[in-house]
Amino acid sequence: METFLIRALQLIMSLSLLVIIHEGGHFLFARLFKTRVEKFCLFFDPWFTLFKFKPKNSETEYGIGWLPLGGYVKIAGMIDESMDTEQMKQPVQPWEFRAKPAWQRLLIMVGGVLFNFLLALFIYSMILFTWGDEYVPLQKAPLGMDFNETAKAIGFRDGDILVSADGVPFERYGGDMLTSIVDARQVTVLRDGQEASVYIPEDMMERLLADSVRFASFRYPFVIDSIMPGQPAALAGLQPGDSITQLDGRNIAYFDFKEEMQNRQKAADDSTGRFLTLTYVRAGVADTVTLTADSLYQIGIAASLQTNKLLPVVKKEYSFFAS
C-alpha cells in the first residue's frame, strides 16, 4: 500500500510539472502581448477549488483544483476550459484575446505545446549531459550480425560485419544505418575476414516494410557467467568467463548454441545429440573439451547477458552546451 501511495504521488507530481509548464506557455505569451489572464489553475476545479490566491494588484487568481487531470488558464476574451460564454457577449476590450492580431492569438494558443516541446529537448539534453551516449560500433562487432530473411534474400549472411554503404562507413545500428542501406547501391561487409559486396535492389524499402522481423541484430558471444557444481560443464573443467566459440567444430554465437540444443532435444537423439565438443577461449588461449549433456540437453551453465561485457561499447560524453 505504501509503495502504491508513493507511486501515485510521483505520478501526480509529474503531471503537475507538465501542466504548469504547458499552461505557463499560454500564460507567458498572453502576458507578453498584454492580454489579461483571469485565472491560472493547476488541475480542474468543477464546483469548488482546493486552494486559491490572488496577489494584491494582480489581475490573475491562482488556484489548485481537486481533479488531477490537467489544468487551465482563463484568458479574457477566449472560450477555453472554463466555458465562459457570457464574456463573449460583451463589447471587445483592448486587453482581451479576441482583440489581438491573428499572429499573437496563434502564439498564445500554441504556447503550451511549444513549452512542452522545449521541455522535452531540455530533458533529453540533460540525459546526454549526465549519462552520455553509449553504442556498439558496427565495424567492431566481433561476431557480426544476424539478418532477417529479407536481408539474406539479397545476399547478406549471418556473421557479416557491416562496413560501409556506397563507401560511407557505418557507425552505429539505428534508423540512419537502415536509411543508408536502403538508399545505397552497394553495401560492403566483412565476411570470413574478407570484404564482400551486397547489391541493394531498388525495392529494398518495400521489402523491409513487408517484413515484420527487424533487419539485423548483433550476434552475442557465448560467455559463461556461472556454472552449476556437479553438472557436465563443471565436470569438464569449464569456468566462468570462458567464451564458447565452437560447437562440434562449427562457429557459434549465444543464440546459435541455444537453438542447436533445442533442436537436439526435439530430435531426442540420445546416441549422438547429447555428446558435445566445445571450443572455448580462456585468457586469449583456445582449448577444446568434450562432455555429455544431461537428459534435458543442459550442461549446467548460465551465459552473461550484459552487453557492455560482450560487445565493444563506446561511451560518448557531452558538455553542457554540446548536449
Taking the complete model, does pTM exceed 0.85, yes or no? no
Give the pLDDT score at 47.
86
Q: Can you tell me whether residue 42 is helix, strand or coil? A: strand
Report helix, strand or coil for 149.
Answer: helix
192: phi > 0 → left, psi -120 to 50 → alpha, else beta; which?
Answer: left
For residue 285, give Cα distances in angstroms to 142, 173, 225, 280.
Answer: 17, 31, 18, 8
Determine contact, residues 40/20, Cβ cutoff 8 Å: no
Which pLDDT score is estimated for 87?
65
CATH of domain 222-307: 2.30.42.10
pLDDT of residue 166: 93
Q: Judge contact between 272 and 264, C-beta under 8 A.
A: no
Per-residue burial over 282-306, b if 16 or more Cβ lie within 10 Å, else e, is eeeeeeebebebeeebebbbebbee
Give the CA distances from residue 140 to residues 59, 242, 245, 312, in Å, rounded to whole numbers and listed in that order: 63, 20, 17, 7
Domains 138-218 and 222-307 in one fold: yes
pLDDT block averages, 10 residues each, the chain of length 323: 81 85 92 90 85 86 85 81 63 84 91 92 91 88 91 92 93 89 93 92 87 86 92 92 91 89 78 82 92 88 87 86 82
Q: How far is CA 52 from the centre of its chain?
A: 41
Distance CA 51, CA 65 (A): 7
| Residue 168 neighbours by CB distance under 10 Å | 10
Sign of dihedral through CA atoms 150, 151, 154, 157?
Answer: negative
pLDDT tens-digit profile of 99-109?
A: 889 899 999 99
Cell of 236: 569438464
* The pLDDT of residue 82: 53
pLDDT of the residue at 94: 84
Assigned C-alpha cell, 316: 560518448
The full set of domain ranges for the chain reads 2-131, 138-218, 222-307
pLDDT for the residue numbered 76: 85
CA distance 43 to 41: 6
CATH 2.30.42 corresponds to the domain 138-218? yes
Question: What is the per-residue pLDDT for 168?
Answer: 92
